[in-house]
Structure 1
Amino acid sequence: MSLDKIVSISGKPGLYHLRAQTRSGFIAESLADGKKMPVGLRHNVSVLSEISIYTLDGESPLREVFAKIAEKENGGSAIDHKGSKDELEAYFFEILPNFDEDRVYASDIKKVIQWYNLLQKNNLLGEAQKETADDASEEGKSKVAAKAAPKAQTTANTQPKGGKSSSAKKGASAKSTAARKK
C-alpha cells in the first residue's frame, strides 16, 4: 500500500486508508481499530504522500522522513510520541538535522512520530520505503533524460529566423510567382 492511499482527517485521531469512493466523498478505514467511516466534503483530508517537512534547504517529503526513522530504528518502532517536547525535538534532530525549528512545531513532530509508529505497526512502511527508492531512481533517469533532451532539441530546431521552414518559403514564392504570371 502506498502513502497515496493513506490520509489524515482533521478532527479525527490517527490515520485512515482510502477504501472506496462514493458520490459525496469516500469510505475510510482506520488503521488503529479497523472501523470504517464515510468521509464527506466537510472534512479536511491530507494525503500523506503530499505532506512535507520544512527544512532549512526547502522541504523534505514525509516518505523520506519515514525512511530515515526506519533506518535509525532498523525497521522498528520509534520513541513514544507522548514524550516531552525536548525529547521529541532531540530525536527529530537526529533524524532530520536541518529541519526548520521556526516552522516545524513540537505538535508536528509528535504527529510524524505517531504516524510512523502506526504505519510500522500495520507493516505499511516497507512499501513507502520502496516508493522512496523508486522516486530516487526515477529522479536519476529524469536527470539523464534532461541532459539528453537539449541535444535532441537543437537538432530538431533548424528553422530559419522567420519561423517558416525553407520548404514553406519555396511553396509561398512559387505561389506568388504563379500569381504574377496571370
Structure 2
Amino acid sequence: MNLEKVVAVSGLPGLYKLVTPRNNGLIIEDFDTGKKRFISIRQHVFTPLASVSIFTQEDPEELNTLFANMQAKAGELDADGALDNNQDLAEYFGEILPTYDRDRVHIGDMKKVVKWYVFLRDHHLLQGGDEEE
C-alpha cells in the first residue's frame, strides 16, 4: 500500500488523498465525497502517513509494517473493539507490535494509529499492495 498520497490534516477529521502540493498548501481529496479542496499551509499541518513511524525497543517501525500486522491478525483481533477502552487498546497494540516502546508510545498515539487503520480498511485502501487510485 502506498501511504505517500494519504495525509492527515490538523483540524480536520479523517484522512485525505493528496492530489497535488502547491507552494502555499495542498490540494486534497476527501475519500468519502471525492470533493477536492485547497488547504493552506498557514492554517494546517499536514502529515503524510508514509512519514509516520512508531517507536519500538529497537528501530522505529513504519506504519506500512504495522498495518500489515493488523491485517494479518484481523481474524483473531478486533481493531474496532480495541477502541472501547484504554486497557483493551494497549493489549491490542501489544499483540500487533510486541516491541513497541511503552514509555514513548502513548494511548493517544495508539488510538490514532488504530483509527487510521480502520479508516483505510473501511475505504478498501489496504488491499492491492502499492496501487492507489
Higher strand share: 2
Higher helix share: 1
State the one-letter code of the partner of 1:59. P
Unaligned runs of 5+ in 1: 132-182
- Tell me, yes or no, if the aligned pair for 1:81 and 1:114 is still in contact at 8 Å: no
Residue number in structure 2 paired with 1:87:
88
Task: With the length of structure 1 as denominator, give the TM-score of the two structures.
Answer: 0.64
Task: With the length of structure 2 as denominator, give the TM-score of the two structures.
Answer: 0.85
Q: Would you identify which runs of 4 or more consecutive aligned residues in structure 1 move more than 6 Å?
A: none
Residue number in structure 1 paired with 2:14:
14
SS in structure 1 of the partner of residue 39 of structure 2: strand
State the one-letter code of the partner of 1:108. D
Residue number in structure 1 paired with 2:73:
72
SS in structure 2 of the partner of residue 123 of structure 1: coil
Structure 1 residues 33 and 113, CA gap change in structure 2 (3 angstroms):
farther
Does 1:115 pair with 2:116? yes
**Paired residue total:** 128
Structure 1 residues 106 and 35, CA gap change in structure 2 (3 angstroms):
farther
- Tell me, yes or no, if the aligned pair for 1:81 and 1:111 is still in contact at 8 Å: no
- Tell me, yes or no, if the aligned pair for 1:32 and 1:118 is still in contact at 8 Å: no
Q: CA deviation at 1:34?
A: 3.9
Q: CA deviation at 1:77?
A: 6.9
SS in structure 2 of the partner of residue 120 of structure 1: helix
SS in structure 2 of the partner of residue 28 of structure 1: strand
Structure 1 residues 46 and 29, CA gap change in structure 2 (3 angstroms):
same
Structure 1 residues 87 and 15, CA gap change in structure 2 (3 angstroms):
same
The aligned runs of 1:138-149 (5 Å cut-off) are none
